Amino acid sequence: MPVLPPLLPQPSEVAPIGSGTTLKVPVGVAGQGELAVARVGRALDRAGLVWFRTDPKKAQIVLNYQPHRETQGKQWYELDVDGSGARIAASDQAGLFYGACTLGQLIDGDTLPGVAIRDRPSFAKRGVMLDVSRGRVPTMETLYGLVDLLSSLKLNQLQLYTEHTFAYKGHEEVWEGADPMTPAEVKALDAYCRDRFIELVPNQQSFGHMHRWLKHARYTRLAELREGLEHPFSLEREPFSLCPGDEDVLAFLEGLYDQLLPNFTSGDFNVGCDETIDLGQGRSTSACRVRGIGHVYLDHLLDIHKRVAARGKRMQFWADIIVKHPDLVSQLPQDCVALLWGYEAGHDFERETHLVAESGVPFFVCPGTSSWQSIGGRVDNMLTNVKSAVEHGLARGAEGVLVTDWGDRGHLQPLPVSFPGWAVAADLSWNAEFPERLDREALAALLDRYLLRDRTGGSGSALLDLGSVDAEGDGRVANGTVPFFLLMRDQRATPPDDAARKRMLEQLDRAEDGIEAGGLKTAAGLLLKEEIKWACDVLRYAIRPKGRNFESLLSEHRRLWRARSRPGGLDESCQWLERARGLIEPGMDRLPEA
């Protein structure tokens, strides 16, 4: 009897039945959904099985869209495999596609396990936000591959976090050299996403995090604090936020929106507006003193909302500022979406989801991959953070889950470091019941099978080992790891003692040995292996720099960067590494041995 493999995401109802079926080559496939049939076809191709389209009465695999069953809910499907073959029925085209994704995971050779699956998502919206503004702008090939991966995991929303990396006409000095997304590329990506039931949501910062613009003389007049301030997102002192209440600011934003939004078919638009760290310190000081900083913030948000609504979009916004002013939450428009983000294991999603749910405003919970400011990841923190967000989001009726992936300080972490966070978010946002089922061992197996494509196993465990180098330090520093902050000579990290350094280095050795012993043999697998080895080497340099060849680290960073990302932000990323070397190496002779 064929064994039921682990599935990602885990369906809500799974009942093994009978002995399954043996597929007769060539395999006859019938179906109404072209995308769903294509998904099954790719799985048959991977298994080396020839297949063809045929009449449902002659097919072993039948996919059937049944709109009269919409009472089951959107994205619902049922999948039955017995002696006669495999049958999928779904309430809509998305459900049919998701049923095909599940069947594709069952196809591994010519035998299918007997099973009855009844499935639907816990959250209607399940998304990933990828930072493309801190150096790394992925190549189109990388983005298309990412969309394929996310759709196979039943994720249905993607956002590209944008400060300055869209090629706005007339604003060339801002994005020059950054290799931004062009309108034609966005339109092509939007269509590619739609074909895979993913909504590409436009994203443009509209309050804080505008330093990429405001540092240029032409735009400084729009700043809250024109003389600028030191902030953690740049190597230089810069103006950071737009000034609220300035009509020129609103006209400027309207111009951006009019260029950006026509390239997207999504009905939503994320306007950012988080971390307005200099609000009330410059031109809005008087207004904030008289009316309160919360009211000044809210008024700017409402001004943006009017302009977003006038362009036929629903406004999403980061809610970190508004939840600090709970008396103002009730004044939010009912046709916006509050994005409740928090990236530490102990983030208070319970309070925030309760506060926003009571107001009636739709909301998402937004945990993180814990990849940034780590280079290798923070697996334990990520697991707890995502599980907490999903638990409280489900309890309070969140519309969706959006897992975020940032690139603070040069976006140094390789792309595969985000895989564990994406896998966990995909699994739990689809099926939020019993999150304890997803322990490290189960996660490693899922990573091997579906994200790393390691047929022999072991690479998933190695990736989790890499993300556990600072496991005993988790919680000592926020928003990063001790090794990363050692690399940056950030005062938040207390230098570890000899025993801790030795423990971290041994953990890196385990991760590298594991990735070497794994079954990554394809070109994509070999690239991933090289990226993980580079991450291990950089972390070794951070922990024990003596005897390390920094130039080889820098050279390898440049080579690996170009494999997935456009060259535009590479020099900036390297500047962060060069800065680290400049802070570390003059004091190497004073470092303890490890």
User: Do residues 21 and 85 make contact, with C-beta atoms less than 8 angstroms apart?
Assistant: yes
- Which pTM value belongs to this model? 0.96
* Token pair listed for 227: 């003389």
Please list, residue by residue across 27-55, b when 16 or more beta carbons sit within 10 angstroms of its beta carbon and e when fewer do.
Answer: bbbbbebebbbbbbbebbeeeebebeebe
List the pLDDT tens digit at each of the 594 positions of the chain. Answer: 577 899 999 999 999 998 899 999 999 999 988 999 999 999 999 999 999 999 999 999 999 988 766 667 799 999 999 999 999 999 899 999 999 999 999 999 999 999 999 999 999 999 999 999 999 999 999 999 999 999 999 999 999 999 999 999 999 999 999 999 999 999 999 999 999 999 999 999 999 999 999 999 999 999 999 999 999 898 889 999 999 999 999 999 999 999 999 999 999 999 999 999 999 999 999 999 999 999 999 999 999 999 999 999 999 999 999 999 999 999 999 999 999 999 999 999 999 999 999 999 999 999 999 999 999 999 999 999 999 999 999 999 999 999 999 999 999 999 999 999 999 999 999 999 988 889 999 999 999 999 999 989 999 999 999 999 987 765 578 899 999 999 998 888 888 899 999 999 999 999 999 999 999 999 999 999 999 999 999 999 999 998 899 999 999 999 999 999 999 999 999 999 999 999 888 866 555 444
* Positions of E strands within 393-487: 400-405
According to CATH, the topology of domain 13-119 is Chitobiase; domain 2 (3.30.379)
- Per-residue model confidence (pLDDT) at position 235: 84
Q: Which residues are within 8 A (CB) of 112 and not within 5 positions of it... i.e. 6 or more apart?
A: 2, 20, 21, 22, 23, 81, 86, 106
**Could you tell me whether strands 400-405 and 363-366 are parallel, antiparallel, or unpaired per DSSP bridges?**
parallel
How would you write 62-84 as a 3-class SS string? EEEECHHHHHHCCCCEEEEEECC
Residue 172, sorted as left (phi over 0), alpha (psi -120 to 50) or beta, turns out to be alpha
- Per-residue model confidence (pLDDT) at position 402: 99
Report how far residue 474's alpha carbon sits from residue 492's, in angstroms, rounded to the nearest whole number. Answer: 13
Residue 98, sorted as left (phi over 0), alpha (psi -120 to 50) or beta, turns out to be alpha
Pick the CATH number of 125-210+256-442 from 3.40.190.10, 3.20.20.80, 3.90.380.10, 3.40.50.300: 3.20.20.80
- Sorted by where each begins, the domain ranges of the chain are 13-119, 125-210+256-442, 459-590
User: Do residues 532 and 515 make contact, with C-beta atoms less than 8 angstroms apart?
Assistant: yes
- Per-residue model confidence (pLDDT) at position 594: 45
Q: Which residues are within 8 A (CB) of 415 and not within 5 positions of it... i.e. 6 or more apart?
A: 142, 531, 564
Give, to the nearest 10 degrees, the angle between helix 523-543 and helix 550-564.
140
Identify the burial level of 439 via C-beta atoms within 10 angstroms of its C-beta, where 0-12 means exposed, 13-18 middle and 19 or more buried: exposed
* Token pair listed for 92: 């809509």
- Per-residue model confidence (pLDDT) at position 477: 82
